[in-house]
Amino acid sequence: MDFRGIIPPVITPFKDDGAIDYDGFAAMIEHLIAASVHGLVVGGTTGEYYAQTKAERIELMRLGREVINGRVPLIAGTGAIRTEDCIDFGLAAREHGADGILMPAPYYAVPTQLELINHALAIDRAVDLPIMLYNYPGRTGTRMEREFFERVGRSPNFAAVKESTGDINQLHMLARDFPHIRLFCGMDDQALEFFAWGAVGWVCAAGNCLPAEHIALYQAVAVEADIVKGRRIMSALMPFMRILEQGGKLIQTVKYACELQGLPAGPLRRPLQPLFKDEKRELEMTLRTLKQVMAQIQADHGADESEGGDGNVITLNA
């Protein structure tokens, strides 16, 4: 599988009674494919997998593959505490035609690096699919260190890493010392830095509600190597990215932003609760300003193209 580009972890819409809105989930997938994302994650953190039963998670994998129908790659999340459960989710992903799996460290268990290596290799041997590692110690309690990457990187299945430590030195290490493991941005407020250091994509929660804006940054820096344009786009995105990464309510924020776009988000599953009224107002103002600034960047870019560019203008949401 060619891990690359903008790959949102799809939200899971719920009904008012807490049941999964499967029609809404299918509609979210269609919305993202129409926006030209490069792949989708089903069963990621933004999809609230931790608040779902095993049967619900597997059904979302199955439905995701059915709706996607080969139009973009599907990566299925395998996050769990027990190695055996992770293997079960990986085998279900393979059975239902996923193109790869997303593998975080087991949360709460806090394994050593050697224990984490053995955990990852056991999943690799059992599932035998391309793997995107997910290094997010803020949620799992365990950090994937150099020793881990040196060992698991010997297997060709460990093809990519979503790096979410927030440590710029970790970004430098992965970019310089592990070029055979494709680097993906996993810290939204550091996306420009990731692309400047050669990241090939971005697994972005807010890609659910702002896919075109995320694609615009990827196109500018990772494809066109235009760091000046990329810096303008990232500057426009940054107030929203700060809310996501520093506000402590990432999933709540993404779901409300989707709701503002008229997308089928629905409520959250407990223990999460909706945003407060003042948080909603701040988000609404932030998104309104973001759209205005992005429209100006689009207009300037269009003017530049008309003066001798290649005419390949990126269309942003209005």
DSSP string covering 30-63: HHHHHTT-S-EEESSGGGTGGGS-HHHHHHHHHH
- Residue 305 has a pLDDT of 55
Fold of 5-225: TIM Barrel (3.20.20)
Residues 57, 50: contact at Cβ < 8 Å? no
Residues 289, 310: contact at Cβ < 8 Å? no
Residues 221, 299: contact at Cβ < 8 Å? no
Nearest by Cα to 38 from 194, 190, 198, 204? 204
Positions of the chain with pLDDT lower than 50, given as ranges: 306-318
CA angle, residues 198, 257, 195, in degrees to nearest 5: 5
Catalytic residue among 49, 108, 136, 162: 162
Domain boundaries, the chain: 5-225
- Residue 1 has a pLDDT of 73
Cα dihedral 122, 96, 106, 241 sign: positive
- Residue 316 has a pLDDT of 36
Catalytic residue among 134, 136, 218, 256: 134
For residue 271, whether the previous peptide bond is cis, meaning omega lies within 30 degrees of 0, is yes
Residues 136, 111: contact at Cβ < 8 Å? no
DSSP-derived pairing of the beta strands 5-6 and 100-104: unpaired
For 233-238, which contacts have Cβ atoms below 8 Å and span 24 or more sequence positions?
233/294, 233/297, 234/191, 234/192, 235/293, 236/290, 236/293, 236/294, 236/297, 237/191, 237/210, 237/213, 237/290, 238/189
- Tokens in use for 88? 């079960």
Task: Tell me if residue 162 is catalytic.
Answer: yes
Distance CA 78, CA 228 (A): 38
Rg (CA), the chain: 19
Which residues, in sequence order, are bridge partners of residue 162? 134, 184
- Tokens in use for 74? 């599907």
Which residues, in sequence order, are bridge partners of residue 131? 101, 158
